[in-house]
Amino acid sequence: MKRSQVNEILREGDAFIRSFGFLLPPFAYWTPDDMVARRPEISGILSARMGWDITDYGQGDFDNLGLFLFTVRNGRQSDLKHGGGMCYAEKIMISRHDQISPMHKHIVKAEDIINRGGATLALEMFESDAEGNIDRSTDVLVATDGVQRRLKAGEVLLLAPGESVTLIPGNWHKFWGEGGDVLIGEVSTVNDDLTDNIFEDPIGRFSDIEEDEEPIHLLVSDYDKWLTE
Ligand SMILES: [Fe+2]
């Protein structure tokens, strides 16, 4: 993706989020220079990879295959290993109309995926088989807002604004905005996007950026390059 496209998506996403009365934390609006200047005090943001995350899954077709994410908070893997403390994470995301987030599962992370507003959120779901691959025949058992549901393998779950689904490790899922753009919340186990996304197809998690203008804000995938100690 070109940086100019990332900047444009970032501006549009910020406006969409605000239109629902959801406000991002202060660090969302720091410039790259602000982040460099504040480097000594923001290791918590950098190590938890909090912030903007706009991905085309490395395929260069954001409108059809992509996702807008902002990681609002993220806990500590060490706390998770010890079994207590900051084991949680929160993201706000946007799936545009028919914009696919491709089929994947998580090994560690359980996640509540929440329709925070806008259009319908559609999720196609499968269970894992004994080897962890997609099980194309077994029914899928999931909870939507605490209510147990049984779906056929590959059935599409539709969530209206206010509704959510709890996905546990091993639940394969693919999702998109149905009929329009949708604001999505994610409340989850502490999150490691570098290791805990298993995709059905060989695909990247982050975008390759072509620098054609200055970034208005850094993406989490920019931190290593722009904010090295
Ligand atoms: Fe997921």
Residues 55-103: tens digit of each pLDDT: 999 999 999 999 999 999 999 999 999 999 999 999 999 999 999 999 9
* Å from CA of 212 to ligand 1 middle: 31
CA of 169 to the centre of ligand 1 (A): 9
Cα 191 to averaged position of ligand 1 atoms, centre (Å)? 10
For the chain, give the mean pLDDT: 96
Q: How far is ligand 1, taken at its centre, from the CA of residue 165, in Å?
A: 11
- State the residue for tokens 């549901």: 149
C-alpha dihedral sign at 113, 13, 215, 38: negative
Tell how far the Cα of 19 is from the centroid of ligand 1, in angstroms.
25
Burial class (CB in 10 A: 0-12, 13-18, 19+), 224: exposed
Residue 140, token pair as written in the block: 């899928």
Q: How many Å lie between the centroid of ligand 1 and the Cα of residue 67?
A: 11
Cα 199 to ligand 1 centre (Å): 10
Say what percent of the chain tops pLDDT 90. Answer: 93
Say how many Å lie between the CA of residue 106 and the centre of ligand 1. 6
- From the list 93, 63, 82, 79, the residue with the least C-alpha distance to 1 is 63
- Give the residues across from 91 on adjacent strands: 71, 186
Q: Does residue 228 carry a pLDDT above 90?
A: no
**Cα of 167 to ligand 1 centre, how many Å?**
8
> Residues of the chain with pLDDT > 70: what percent?
100
Q: In angstroms, what is the span from residue 73 Cα to ligand 1's centroid? A: 16
The pTM (predicted TM-score) of the whole model is 0.96
The answer to whether 30 and 215 have CB atoms below 8 angstroms apart is no
How far, in Å, is the centroid of ligand 1 from the Cα of 174? 8
pLDDT at 229 over 60: no
Return the pLDDT at 206: 84
Residues 30-59 have pLDDT tens digits of: 999 999 999 999 999 999 999 999 999 999
Q: Are 65 and 100 in contact (CB under 8 A)?
A: yes
Give me Rg for the CA atoms of the chain. Answer: 17
> Quick check: 94 and 175 in contact, CB under 8 A?
no
Band of pLDDT at residue 208, cut at 50, 70 and 90: confident
Dist. CA 40 → ligand 1 center (Å): 32
Instruction: Give residue 229 CA to ligand 1 midpoint distance, Å.
Output: 31
Summarised one tens digit per residue, pLDDT across range 141-159 is 999 999 999 999 999 999 9
